[in-house]
Amino acid sequence: MSVAHIEIKSTGVYVPEKVLTNIELEKMVDTSDEWITSRTGISTRRIAVDGEATSDLAYKAGLVALEKAGMTPDELELIIVATITPDMFFPSTGCIVQDKLGAKNAVAMDINAACSGYIFSLAIGSRFLETGTYKNALIIGAEKLSCITDWKDRNTCVLFGDGAGAAIITPSNGEGKLLAFDLGSDGSYGDLLYLPGGGSRNPASKETVENRLHYIKMDGNPVFKIAVNKMMATFKKSLKAAGLKPDDISVLITHQANLRIIEALRSFLKLPKEKVFVNIEKYGNTSAASIGIALHEACEKKIIKRGDIIGLAAFGGGLTWGSAIIQY
Ligand SMILES: CC(C)(COP(=O)(O)OP(=O)(O)OC[C@H]1O[C@@H](n2cnc3c(N)ncnc32)[C@H](O)[C@@H]1OP(=O)(O)O)[C@@H](O)C(=O)NCCC(=O)NCCS
């Protein structure tokens, strides 16, 4: 069976209850609410409790998406979890989520594209559906970034948060369509944003712990500049592939990393503020989860309605980037 169009049937979200404010961060590192808000747009972020793993967040977001789609777990055929904070090296977080859901008939996997993970999952899942290999997919971006955040490093610890955003995608019978997507990566930028410890290069040891190698390392300035350029370029490519102009976009949702990066893309596309959905102030940067969380919130708030043209754009560690244009 070959299928022409893929739609987002439903979305789901889960964020942990615990809120960490900028004021609380002032007591942890040498920073200020004023610096964080003016440089990033972030006011609060959610933090998972001890013992709560990425799969727990992903499972809860997946349940919401399933319920909204009116589907049972055993109907699921494909589960893709995008994460850089898996529960463990293996089994994949996708397999753990499959088990939690009781989705016995699905095949499950993880992908690692850092903050671009949601768009990568959407693209990969859609291709499986278009070829007729599977009839539906649950894609989830989920992160417990708090466990790889160096709470002594003010350059990074103010940025990140935990959460999960999910979507069920299916072949489309109506107006919903994935109109275009574009993905990209450049491994030569890998050392701008990475986590050095714990893998086969630097297996976990007393030294890796003492040298704080199990935390995110980031060179923020170049990441900022490359992010803006690559997001603009990828979004232009998706617009062209969809045969659309920036003006045709009803709502733009970008990865929520820094309000100034989002603003740069908005002004490049000459979009009015009301066409760009932003929730970075509440959740900070939740990596692969951020677009899924924002998409769900924008749908729940009726900012996005069926038939609207939605633009998605992201960038992240790798470096990776990607964009998609969806008729919702
Ligand atoms: C990290 C980021 C917010 C820093 O903002 P910036 O405007 O570039 O700030 P700079 O790095 O130039 O630092 C400016 C000063 O603020 C200081 N600073 C950094 N973090 C601080 C904090 N939390 N509180 C107070 N001061 C801070 C720096 O030490 C520096 O001080 P100096 O001038 O005395 O050396 C910004 O570079 C960024 O968002 N980069 C992209 C990050 C990103 O998106 N990462 C995820 C990719 S998915």
What residue owns the CA closest to ligand 1's atom 41? Answer: 224
- Residues serving a catalytic function are 115, 255, 285
Output the residue whose Cα is nearest ligand 1's atom 30: 155
CA 219 to ligand 1 centroid distance, Å: 9
What residue's CA is closest to ligand 1, atom 42? 220
pLDDT of residue 1: 35
Q: Which of 23, 116, 155, 160 to probe ligand 1 with, by most ligand atoms within 8 A of CB?
A: 155
Closest by CA position to 293, among listed 192, 143, 175: 143
Supply the CATH classification number for the domain 6-174. 3.40.47.10
Token pair, residue 92, equals 């994949």
Name the residue type at position 297: E
Given this model, what pLDDT does residue 3 score?
44
CATH code linked to domain 178-327: 3.40.47.10
Q: pLDDT tens, position by position, for the chain (328 residues)?
A: 334 589 999 999 999 999 999 999 999 999 999 999 999 999 999 999 999 999 999 999 999 999 999 999 999 999 999 999 999 999 999 999 999 999 999 999 999 999 999 999 999 999 999 999 999 999 999 999 999 999 999 999 999 999 999 999 999 988 899 999 999 999 999 999 999 999 999 999 999 999 999 999 999 999 999 999 999 999 999 999 999 999 999 999 999 999 999 999 999 999 999 999 999 999 999 999 999 999 999 999 999 999 999 999 999 999 999 999 999 9
**Residue in 39, 83, 315 to alter for ligand 1 test, most ligand atoms within 8 A of Cβ:** 39
CA of 323 to the centre of ligand 1 (A): 25
Would 6-174 and 178-327 be classified into the same CATH topology? yes
Tell the residue nearest (CA) to atom 19 of ligand 1: 155
Please write down the HEC assignment for all residues of 57-117: HHHHHHHHHHHHHCCCHHHCCEEEEECCCCCCCCCCHHHHHHHHHCCCCCEEEEECCHHHH
Structure tokens at 127: 């291709």
How close is the Cα of 155 to the center of ligand 1, in Å?
5
Instruction: Assign 241 to helix, strand or coil.
Output: helix
Q: What is the pTM of this model?
A: 0.96
CA atoms within 13 A on the CB side of 115: 29
In the chain, where the domains are located: 6-174, 178-327
Ligand 1 atom with least separation from CA of 155: 20
What local confidence, expressed as pLDDT, does residue 4 receive? 57
Q: Which residues touch 15 (CB under 8 Å, ≥6 apart)?
A: 46, 57, 161, 162, 163, 164, 283, 286, 293
How is 295-311 classified by DSSP, letter by letter?
HHHHHHTTSS-TT-EEE
Name which residue sits closest to atom 2 of ligand 1, judged by CA: 220
Ligand 1 contact, 224 CB (< 6 A): yes
